[in-house]
Amino acid sequence: MTWVWLILRLKMPISGMRLNKKSFSIIAYLAGPILILIIWSVISSLVGNDTLYLASPKETFTSLWTFLNQKEFYFDTFYTLQRVLLSVVIATLLAIQVALLISFKQFLFTMSEFIIDFFRSIPSVALFPLFLVIFGINDTARTGTAIFICFWIVLLNLLSGIFHASKVRTESLEVIGATKIQIFRHVLFWESLAPLVAGMRLALTTSLVIIILTEMLVSPKFGLGAKIFLMQQTYKIPEMYALILITGCVGYILNKCIVTIERKVIHWTRS
């Protein structure tokens, strides 16, 4: 295929020059999305004008551009992001406090092991009706469901970092008479940062999924999930595809932001 030959050709000398490693990495990185677009275009051309199930890239990006010029779209994105970030922040703060309490005594972790394993295994969809009964049809039910699920994700990662901390360092501090607070401040805190950030990354993705899902099940006034469900109900398929792409971009940007923060704050974990 022509495009494959062009990509491979870039690695060969062009006008007496050779692309450096960084340039070729960028080209290779973009090759994936380009390949997806080509496959998408081919399949949509084979389907023809029937857009009931598959919209073409042209129709999708036209709808995407239309959304970007609408004020309501930014309200939908803002409220969805607000629910996602609020859920992750509250879940992280609660998980840190519970992890601190459990980490001081081994028997507390043993006692809570069944509770953690049980509640983290409950599907989020099964919990949403319960939160609707408790809090009513509002944002508290949506964020409450996301907080509950994300809490266990962050807690497990944080406990993993604490209990797998360097035994040599902790025992060395115990020998010289360090208190548990000092051991936590000088060893456990720093060694649990990487698992904490990893848990937050997973919690961000999970929170986005839960918020979008709960917005579809009980539609609020603003929200990307509610808008996707509305487009599907009114058979506006290109608009639905455009909103799905937007939610993917939101998740991608959130993940990249936390990866950047991770590299800046806990740079010593990089290989």
Residue 91 has pLDDT above 50, yes or no: yes
Q: Which residues sit opposite 17 in a β-bridge?
A: 14
Burial class (CB in 10 A: 0-12, 13-18, 19+), 239: buried
From first CA to last CA, the distance across the chain in angstroms is 37
Give the angle 270-32-65 at the CA atoms, nearest 5°.
Answer: 105
Higher pLDDT, 176 or 98: 98
Unique residue bearing structure tokens 């495009």: 3
Residue 58 has pLDDT above 70, yes or no: yes
Query: Looking at 79-83, 120-124, 231-235, which range is the least confident one?
Result: 120-124
Contacts of residue 174, defined as CB under 8 A and 6 or more positions apart, other chains included, come to 183
* pLDDT band at 151; cut points 50, 70, 90: very high
For the whole prediction, is pTM greater than 0.95? no
* pLDDT band at 186; cut points 50, 70, 90: low
Q: How many CB atoms lie within 10 A of CB 242?
A: 25
Query: Looking at 21-35, 84-98, 169-183, 199-213, which range is the least confident one?
Result: 169-183
Contacts of residue 91, defined as CB under 8 A and 6 or more positions apart, other chains included, come to 146, 147, 148, 150, 151, 153, 154, 203, 207
